[in-house]
Amino acid sequence: MKLNQGYRHLQNSYFFSSIVKKTEDYRAQDPKADIIRLGVGDVSIPLCPAVVHAMQQAVQEMGRKGTFHGYGPEQGYDFLRSAIRGYYRRYGVRLEMDEIFVSDGANSDLGNILDLFDRDNTVLIPNPVYPVYEDTNIMAGRKILYMHASEQNGFLPLPDKSIQADIIYLCSPGNPTGAVYSRAQLEKWVDYANDMGAIIIFDAAYESFIATPDLPHSIFEIRGAKTCAIEICSLSKTAGFTGTRCGYTVVPRRLVREGLELRRMWLRRQTTKFNGVSYIVQRGAEAVFSPEGIEQTRSAIAYYRENGRIIKNALEELGIWHVGGEHSPYVWLKCPSGMGSWAYFEYLLHTCHIVSTPGAGFGSSGEGYLRLSSFAGRDDTVRAMERFIQKGIPGQSAGQ
Ligand SMILES: *Cc1c(COP(=O)(O)O)cnc(C)c1O
């Protein structure tokens, strides 16, 4: 018996449990402190009425002979895939129905898609980034190269032709930084991947937060992407589905390597190892793309975006360098006075009673930075930023 040794090399779970532990320790020390959580990457607004109504109807159908549904199509019901296809058309992207795969969320597919690739591939991952890309590849024992993201490149690393990579992860709008690739920047990535024969795994979990028409929502808005990219998307942040679970992955027909169509491989993988998402959830997901659903989810996103604006205003007032917050629920800031991520995390917890996320948890290049989230309620966000403006910079308080 031999275990997967990759699990010995994982580190991140330790990091996130430290945030919880430090917060609990502080609460024990100062039980009356009104602690506000701006660290979480989870939504707070409930499912919108269009989704709730659709799911209630679907439950009724499931309880009646004649409208009951057993196993569904492995790729997802036509009604949902057709709604997703219609959504992509808004951004000028034409997809075939068989290129769309409904999933139970982005994380599952981010891990499962690696089934298609040999262990002997080199993976290129931005640093800092969403930890799942790194962890899933460590579990698989794959070689990982990191691309340094920094203030100099706006936390949007671009391809370096001297680096040979096979699988490239891009997340735009980015978690944790909130930075968004422009069309011209994504063109560089698509050209690089096509030249190298590499495959881009594009995580579009935050596409619905994009606020201006000039920024791409999908990698497939870029010419040439259909021969080098897989897009993974989720309704978690778009429509508050973190607890309901639904997403979708696009594998284009033209994505072919070694004579094999990756779309066919993925279909084969899914029909063997996945039996699809529940009918009830797929009806709820379909409602997200209805005119009412789009309007209702957009208003939830506008609420988060306003929180983001409040956070950014506070940072501007204090002259703290930051990105994100506009097309993303995250604001990524540089810790003042040259403090490290953990030191500033503790300072904010003890002084302002704000829980944040230390940037170092997303990779070594995140050291010295911090992530604030706009997913909290308005009142909490406003109160937190009032305290932040007063005492956010060590050794300095407002009015001095
Ligand atoms: C939240 C998040 C996901 C996870 O999505 P699920 O559909 O809930 O699994 C994927 N990618 C990024 C970058 C995220 O922040």
In the predicted model, is pLDDT for residue 395 greater than 90? no
Known binding residues for substrate are 14, 41, 130, 175, 275, 371
At 397 the pLDDT is 66
CA 303 to chain CA centroid, nearest Å: 18
Kindly state the DSSP code that residue 28 receives in the 8-state scheme.
H
Kindly state the DSSP code that residue 172 receives in the 8-state scheme.
S
Query: Which residues are 332's β-sheet partners?
Result: 323, 371
pTM: 0.97
CA of 108 to the centre of ligand 1 (A): 9
Decide if 275 is inside a domain. yes
Mean per-residue pLDDT, 364-392: 97
Q: Does one domain contain both 131 and 211?
A: yes
CA gyration radius, the chain: 22
Q: Does one domain contain both 77 and 205?
A: yes
Decide if 1 is inside a domain. no
In the predicted model, is pLDDT for residue 399 greater than 60? no
CA of 63 to the centre of ligand 1 (A): 32
Q: Does one domain contain both 331 and 367?
A: yes
| Ligand 1 binding pocket, CB closer than 6 Å | 41, 105-107, 130, 171, 175, 203, 205, 234, 236-237, 242, 247
Q: Measured between alpha carbons, how far is residue 181 from residues 11, 185, 272, 311 in Å?
A: 28, 6, 35, 22
Q: Does one domain contain both 305 and 210?
A: no
At 16 the pLDDT is 83
Per residue in 27-42, pLDDT (tens digit) is 999 999 999 999 988 9
What total number of domains does the chain contain?
Answer: 2
At 13 the pLDDT is 72
Per residue in 300-325, pLDDT (tens digit) is 999 999 999 999 999 999 999 999 99
Confidence of residue 7 (pLDDT cuts 50, 70, 90): very high
- Per the omega criterion (within 30 degrees of 0), is the bond before 128 cis? yes
Residues spanned by the domain of 369: 14-43+293-391
At 14 the pLDDT is 75
Query: One-letter amino acid identity for 395?
Result: G
Q: Does one domain contain both 283 and 298?
A: no
Q: Does one domain contain both 80 and 93?
A: yes
| The two three-digit tokens of residue 187, written as one number | 């063109």
Average pLDDT of the chain? 96
Confidence of residue 400 (pLDDT cuts 50, 70, 90): very low
Mean per-residue pLDDT, 145-160: 97
* Single residue among 236, 257, 289 that ends a domain in this structure: 289
CA 51 to chain CA centroid, nearest Å: 21
Mean per-residue pLDDT, 273-281: 96
Look-up of token digits 């920094």: 150
